[in-house]
Amino acid sequence: MIVAETARQFLADCGVNPERMTLEWASAAEAPRFVELITGYVSSIKEKGPLGEAEGEADAETLKRRLAAAVKAAQARKPRTVLGNLAKKLHKDGDYSKEAIAKGVSAKILPALRAERIKEEMLMLLEESPMSLDELCSALSCEKEEVEKPLAQLQKKGVVEEKDGKFALAKK
């Protein structure tokens, strides 16, 4: 359930309607219930339309890039450690309510995943063409502070270079 909640919140963060991901239960003896669930779910997706066309979703190209960055972020060590720690904490508190999970995920896991995603997406954007800080902010649709921090880290590592107010990947 932590994983499902993480996926839902992270999808919303990436600009995908979180209702596209669902977690349901049907036991082996509950074929009618299963049919009901599947039918209901498929018709709800039909109403929403293809990926990227439901209300409030980003356009297809942005989504593709953003989700590719999101996959990389989900593999990164930091968010995974945070997820493990949250699972441990929930176990210790003995509180597995939906609210407790949602709160923990949005407070701990989501910021870690979002930071990773922004970093990965930034690298993808810069690979295509050099960009200024403002251009990066609008392409990533996030605040200046969120962009500046990972950008400074990447500059320190020598991955990104600044030239005439534009940022580009350093040549190897």
Partner 1 sequence: MVMENVVEKENEMAQEGFEPRILGFFCHWCCYAAADSAGVSRYQYPPNVRVIRVMCTGRIDTRFILEAFKCGADGVFTGG
Q: Which residues bind partner 1 (CB under 8 A)?
A: 3-4, 6-7, 10-11, 16, 20-35, 37-39, 41-43, 45-46, 48-51, 63-64, 67-68, 70-71, 74-75, 83
Q: Which is nearer to partner 1, 74 or 90 (CB)?
A: 74
Q: Which is nearer to partner 1, 41 or 168 (CB)?
A: 41
What's the rounded Cα separation, in Å, for the pair 112 and 151?
16
Least distance in Å: CB of 144 to partner 1? 26
Classify each residue of 124-142 as buried b or exposed e, where b means 16 or more C-beta atoms within 10 Å of its C-beta. Answer: ebbeeebbeeeebbebbeb
Q: Which is nearer to partner 1, 64 or 78 (CB)?
A: 64
Q: Which is nearer to partner 1, 29 or 172 (CB)?
A: 29
Least distance in Å: CB of 145 to partner 1? 25
Write down the residue that tokens 């359930």 correspond to. Answer: 1
What's the rounded Cα separation, in Å, for the pair 162 and 165?
6
Least distance in Å: CB of 78 to partner 1? 13
Least distance in Å: CB of 93 to partner 1? 20
Least distance in Å: CB of 100 to partner 1? 18
What's the rounded Cα separation, in Å, for the pair 106 and 123?
25
Q: Which is nearer to partner 1, 25 or 145 (CB)?
A: 25
Vertex 106 angle, CA 100 and 107, to 5°: 85
